[in-house]
Structure 1
């Protein structure tokens, strides 16, 4: 039996016992650590097993972007393809209003005889399209002054309205710089090289920065007009997606109607963004996905059909062969049907409601509980 007290041990045994006790304490802590790690791994395995069997998320059945989709390998052809039937070739259509026309007449025959222009018929015609040499046009403005013969005041001429004093760059250069930087995402350094190589125009990065800064006020006024147009619409559609701004996650919001689309980048994905945009206005219908921040902004709300079609596709990939395919067909049903004219929402529901109901009853009465659960459509968000 072990001794009740260490002091009762012999002096030569006591250090050995103390060392063993220290090692036992360390082993106990290591065992506790391994038990905690084993518990975490068991929970991880349970999560993976719970998700086993679910269909993979693709751009067609989830919110994954199209760039994340994988294309399958093209199978090798088992036999030679049949030769395609010949058909008339298609060439570029001739311009309706060419800037210039050159008539080229035959001058001499191969035998050396001269040919008159009168009576010659058109044999072939084509358009030759090219760009003229692009170079900036520099206009020197000299303002003169004179002395008034009456009051002896010195009077200086006023500059023309289309060429004010200050920045030397005209509206054509400003428009090109704004388009290349804002729409084509050309950076300042590459933009200076592009202007030099393509236009023969020397620009510094500072000049580009000042140019864009001065254009902020007219662009801001136009943006406010677009926002007012969308805000006053009876039907507004919205959506948002993430974006990186100066190393931080922001969100790009779009609010659109039939005639205009307003775009804003905000540091939040919250409800405050559409609320601030509406500024007290309340449309009749709001169209968006099921993100709570985009709901309850109008008298009625229409869920985005593209998101619902994706959810139906996810249920189909999960094994639902009854309800989800009919639901997807209902969502993709066109608003017009040939000579029948426009189809009201009520008529669309009546047209497919019987098929949906019959298939749902069959699914519910004949399928086991696990198959019935597979018909539930998961949320998009």
Structure 2
């Protein structure tokens, strides 16, 4: 029944039948509504910010290894294509003196090279111990006591030098090795007895030493034109705090603070106003001090996917395609002529205007439309400048190891431990942007050698 029949012409029995029919239809619709309420779309790492570790992971089909290539790289022979070393420590020349078949002597000059390969071994590493015997006495002239000066780097104090501190710091904060396993590792591999208490004392001294390099990173960040930022949870003394990251393609700063509010950003920036801020839509990030703001499109792509999964077929699919096209253009714009890029950008902006004029009927589509109408100016800002990233993936990548470390260690048991972790991550991630390895960066910082790369 699509229209209500005239009630005046119906008998009492017909009216009763109509009421019963309408009631049955109402009950049926109520049941459908309840079923739809219970059938809510599940959030996964594909359609939300839910981490992959918490989402459902179906079994994957076993991937077959590709067949080996017929041609091997030059400089390799019969051993998996590994390149030969340019400067081997030792070369062994194997030439036959007699024929293995008949025993006749053979001329080495007539033999040709039939194979070349390498055997790699690690040398045994033992601690290098320097004992300092310091003398002193009493001056026969002024009758005052004195002690002989010692060479730089051999001052009294901890018996463990910078190389030991660098290795322990690297293993602890780049590989999440516990104090107990660190102590065992140092003894079994290097023959160095290092108790868990000695490791804690050593790392506390490292924390003080890294204050100056991290200060240089902060100063450089406060001169940056573009800053990307994100935050993730951290456990300190059994309580939830927040690890913040502020980064660009030259510098990276990590901080662990009790607050997730805007005050952390204000303290870090100290009045500096970057030209561009890149982040998600979290309220503290939205209150950034920069002149312009690029919203992370990686988050928006997942939100669009969630709306699609929830049944929106009008708005979210078009927005998702628009975002993907814009990101693809940004990745290859350096290969295109300026006029071509401008044409593509004009088309994308025109498409955005058309899509924002749509009238989606689904709740999730309406929610996205309302959001994008509000932040419209911050969706495609990166099209105006090729140095602006369309996503904040660099910030999330900088925090990825922090999440792994948190899961492995279950957090920090002291404030100085949390501070040291943030210092090391700042140093390592800044060094990575300069093409410097994590261990090399830690070693340089602890020996005060070649820290110019921190200043930019």
* TM-score band w.r.t. shorter chain: 0.7 to 0.9
CA distance in 2, matches of 1:155, 1:116: 73
The match for 2:97 is 107
Distance 1:115 1:64, change over 3 A: same
Measure how far apart 1:106 and its partner are. Answer: 2.0
Distance 1:213 1:74, change over 3 A: closer
* Contact 1:337/1:343, CA 8 A, preserved across alignment: no
Measure how far apart 1:354 and its partner are. Answer: 4.8
The match for 2:348 is 352
Q: Residues 186-218 of structure 1: CA distance to partner in whole angstroms, max 9, x if unpaired?
A: 222221111111111101122112111111222
Q: Secondary structure at the match of 1:374?
A: helix
* Contact 2:307/2:364, CA 8 A, preserved across alignment: no
The match for 1:331 is 323
* Contact 2:333/2:341, CA 8 A, preserved across alignment: no
Measure how far apart 1:326 and its partner are. Answer: 2.9
Alignment counterpart, residue 160 of structure 1, candidates 151, 160, 176: 151
CA distance in 2, matches of 1:195, 1:185: 15
Distance 1:358 1:274, change over 3 A: closer
The match for 1:42 is none
Measure how far apart 1:142 and its partner are. Answer: 2.3
Alignment counterpart, residue 243 of structure 1, candidates 234, 238, 244: 234
Q: Secondary structure at the match of 1:275?
A: helix
CA distance in 2, matches of 1:132, 1:373: 62
The match for 2:305 is 313
Q: Residues 257-307 of structure 1: CA distance to partner in whole angstroms, max 9, x if unpaired?
A: 221100011111111111111111111111111111112321111111211
Measure how far apart 1:125 and its partner are. Answer: 1.2
Matches within 5 A, 1:46-125: 51-74=37-60, 87-88=70-71, 90-110=80-100, 111-125=102-116
Comparing 245-254 with 50-59, which one deviates more in the overlay? 50-59
CA distance in 1, matches of 2:221, 2:41: 39
Instruction: Return 5+ residue gaps in structure 2 as ranges.
Output: 1-30, 73-79, 373-456
The match for 2:191 is 200
Measure how far apart 1:240 and its partner are. Answer: 0.4
* Contact 1:323/1:356, CA 8 A, preserved across alignment: no
Alignment counterpart, residue 119 of structure 2, candidates 128, 139, 163: 128
Measure how far apart 1:72 and its partner are. Answer: 2.3
CA distance in 2, matches of 1:85, 1:205: 48
Matches within 5 A, 1:144-159: 144-145=135-136, 156-159=147-150
Query: How high is the TM-score relative to the length of structure 2?
Result: 0.63
Measure how far apart 1:223 and its partner are. Answer: 0.9
Measure how far apart 1:315 and its partner are. Answer: 1.9
The match for 1:24 is none
* Contact 1:145/1:155, CA 8 A, preserved across alignment: yes
Distance 1:342 1:114, change over 3 A: farther
Q: Secondary structure at the match of 2:104?
A: coil
- Asked if 1:340 is matched to 2:340, the reply is no
What is the Cα-based RMSD across aligned positions, in Å? 3.4
Matches within 5 A, 1:5-16: none
- RCO higher in structure (CA 8 A, sep ≥6): 2
CA distance in 2, matches of 1:87, 1:318: 49
Measure how far apart 1:313 and its partner are. Answer: 1.6
Q: Secondary structure at the match of 1:265?
A: strand
Which has a greater percent of helix? 2
Comparing 229-238 with 341-350, which one deviates more in the overlay? 341-350
* Contact 2:312/2:364, CA 8 A, preserved across alignment: no
CA distance in 1, matches of 2:167, 2:67: 46
